[in-house]
Amino acid sequence: MPTKSNIPAGVHVTGEVRLAPFRQVDPGVHLGYPTGRKVAPCPLEIGEGALIRSGTVLYAGSRFGAMLETGHHVVIREENRIGDRLSIWNHSTIDYGCTIGNGVKIHNHVYVAQFTVIEDDVFLAPGVQIANDRFPQSHHLEGPTIRKGAVLGVNVTVLPGVEIGEGALVGAGAVVTKDVPPRAIAAGNPARVLRIRP
């Protein structure tokens, strides 16, 4: 649990935060923000080597591996399980209940909906939007699954419940309404497979 001796001035801490030795935590960061949902209180856990820039809000109840790096004004909500070396940039949000692997890179202005699964080494370009709600006010939320090494281009939209296969590449502006096979190159609205990479 942090003490005043190892949390920089100007960092707001709420509740229990387990922060391993870090590279940088800027003033204006909020660690352990309380959720408004009715869930059991859990600590925020952050592995060693974190670099957390100003304006970032990390909710209570999420767990991060080593070498987390955020841009400015990032929001990551509760009940997320996130591996090592997540890099997430300015004005991006990860909603609650997601599972994210190692070496994932999330660029600016990206939204990751609840219950999304993102495997290792995935790249999400600026403006990617991931949905989990098939109909407005649906009571059944189903996040997509993005398999290892997949790349999503600028402003790709991924609809609920679809799977983007390992090593797939989705072109800029595509709307993914159906599964994309492993190593496929897909583009368009709706996204269609153009070819399978060798």
Q: What is the pLDDT of residues 129-179, one digit of tens each?
A: 999 988 777 778 899 999 999 999 999 999 999 999 999 999 999 999 999
Cross-strand partners of 124:
106, 152
- In this prediction, residue 4 has a pLDDT band, given cuts at 50, 70 and 90, of very low
Chain position carrying tokens 């987390």: 68
User: Who contacts 149 (Cβ-Cβ below 8 Å, separation ≥6)?
Assistant: 119, 120, 121, 122, 166, 167
Predicted structure pTM score: 0.94
Predicted pLDDT of residue 1: 46
Alpha-carbon distance of 101 to 150, in angstroms, equals: 12
The Cα–Cα gap between 117 and 35 comes to 21
Q: Contact, 151 vs 137, CB < 8 A?
A: no
Q: pLDDT tens digits, residue range 33-60?
A: 998 777 667 899 999 999 999 999 999 9
Give dist(CA 84, CA 120) in Å, integer. 9
Give Cβ neighbours of residue 99 (< 8 Å, ≥ 6 apart).
80, 81, 82, 116, 117, 118
